[in-house]
Structure 1
Amino acid sequence: MSLKKASIIIFMILLIDQISKIYIKTHFQLGEDVTVFSWFKIAFIENDGMAWGTKLSDFISFISDETAKLVLTLFRIVAVTGIAFWLIDVTKKKKSKTLIFAISIIFAGALGNILDSVFYGVLFSDSVMQVATFLPEDGGYAKVFHGNVVDMLHFPIWSGVMPDNLPLIGGKYFSFFDPVFNVADMAISSGIGILIVFNKKAFEESNNSTNLGTIKT
């Protein structure tokens, strides 16, 4: 797969991700949800930290939430820069399409969430008890690099009390699936999943390399 094709994939994921986030941000109040199916809801939340809403300041107590947010955003930028160089390298070396596709969607997802963290704070007003305004006259809800990631996809597939005869969890209330996420998160998770499940295929030598080796022999 060429870098051009990889770029098209990245652009399409970013487009879908950002359109969905901007729509939710400008049509929903924070905490508002709409039931699409019994197992699927559009639920607007904002994530100001790491995965599952964890904050860096939860682990490093001597730094403030604001500083922790800045450090996390800068770390994400460094990480996505590394992924970009990796993608360029594997396309130049004509590695497997599986590997290039997986890296492409991971990069797209990471970049999508970075755009929220870097720019959404200055582009939108607050969403608490109101629908946010795009480019508000009195400024956004946060400084550059201090924005929150917009999440909206919720799949409450099943919830209920577990059978009493099950060890450890018997008789306890259980729900699946609680996390709320976005298109960018799906891209990152899918890319990592491809690398894990199709690891051998992803990191196999390309046909071009094999053919060159045969010619030289």
Structure 2
Amino acid sequence: MSIKKSIILIIIILLIDQISKIYIKTNFRLQESVEVFSWFQIYFIENDGMAWGTKISDIFSFVNDRTAKVALTLFRIVAICGIGYWLYDTTKKLKPNVLILAIALIFAGALGNIIDSVFYGVLFNDSYMDVASFLPEEGGYDSLLHGKVVDMLYFPLFEIDLPQWMPFYGGKRFNFFEPVFNIADMAISTGFIMLIVFNKKAFPKKES
């Protein structure tokens, strides 16, 4: 798989990811949802932290939210540069296609979420009371590097009441699958799953 094909794949994923996010941001209010099927909803939320909405300040209480947000965004930018070099080096050395494809998916997904984190605070106003506007006259909801990631894909496949005897969670309602995510998250997850499932093909052992 050539670097040209990798770039085309990355561009396609980025376009799908950003078009879906911009559509949701400019057509839905925050926490508004539409049921597509009983097991699938379009549910608009925003995430200003790490995976599952975790914030750095939740882990390190001495760091305030805004400083943590900038630190996280800058870390993501550094990480995407490393992933980009890994992709270039992998294609240059003609590594297995499954490895190149996995890295390209991870790169595209990471870049898609970085765009939100870096620019969305400037490009849109907030979505709390009304549908957001693109490039509003009054300015965006926050400054550069303080944007929130748009999530919208929600799959509440089923709910069950957990038995009382179960430790910690007994008697509580369990919803599977609860996290809300986006196209970029899907690309990242798919890339990592490929690396795990096809590990031997992605990293073949050299014959001695």
Report the TM-score, using the length of structure 1 for normalisation.
Answer: 0.91
Spell out, residue by residue over 1:108-153, the C-alpha distance to the aligned partner (whole angstroms, 9 max, x if none).
0000000000000000011111100000001000100000000000
Spell out, residue by residue over 1:8-48, the C-alpha distance to the aligned partner (whole angstroms, 9 max, x if none).
11011000000000000000000100000000000000000
**CA shift for structure 1 position 172:** 3.6
CA distance in 2, matches of 1:34, 1:12: 25
1:55 has 2:52 as partner: no
Amino acid at match of 1:14: L
Spell out, residue by residue over 1:135-189, the C-alpha distance to the aligned partner (whole angstroms, 9 max, x if none).
000100010000000000000000021356x754664421100000000000000
2:16 maps to what in 1?
16
1:140 has 2:176 as partner: no
2:153 maps to what in 1?
153
CA distance in 2, matches of 1:199, 1:21: 32
- Could you tell me which runs of 5 or more consecutive residues in structure 2 were left unpaired when the two chains were aligned: none
1:111 has 2:111 as partner: yes
Amino acid at match of 2:140: G
**CA shift for structure 1 position 2:** 0.3
Equivalences, count = 207
Spell out, residue by residue over 1:66-113, the C-alpha distance to the aligned partner (whole angstroms, 9 max, x if none).
110000000000000000000000000000000000000000000000
1:26 maps to what in 2?
26
Amino acid at match of 2:121: G
1:214 maps to what in 2?
none
1:82 has 2:82 as partner: yes
CA distance in 1, matches of 2:170, 2:27: 41
- Could you tell me which runs of 5 or more consecutive residues in structure 1 were left unpaired when the two chains were aligned: 211-217
Q: How does 1:123-138 map to 2 (within 5 A)?
A: 123-138=123-138
1:190 maps to what in 2?
190
CA distance in 2, matches of 1:86, 1:79: 11
Report the TM-score, using the length of structure 2 for normalisation.
Answer: 0.95
Q: State percent identity of aligned pairs.
A: 67
Amino acid at match of 1:193: I
CA distance in 2, matches of 1:172, 1:64: 32
Question: Could you say what the CA RMSD is over the residues aligned between the two structures, in angstroms?
Answer: 1.7
Structure label with greater radius of gyration: 1
1:3 maps to what in 2?
3
CA distance in 2, matches of 1:167, 1:181: 28
**CA shift for structure 1 position 58:** 1.1
Amino acid at match of 1:95: K
**SS of alignment partner, residue 45 of structure 1:** strand
CA distance in 2, matches of 1:109, 1:122: 21
Amino acid at match of 2:122: V
CA distance in 1, matches of 2:188, 2:75: 16
2:162 maps to what in 1?
162
2:179 maps to what in 1?
179
**SS of alignment partner, residue 131 of structure 1:** coil
Q: Are residues 167 and 60 of structure 1, via their aligned partners in 2, closer, same or farther at CA, if it must alter by over 3 Å? A: closer
**SS of alignment partner, residue 201 of structure 1:** helix
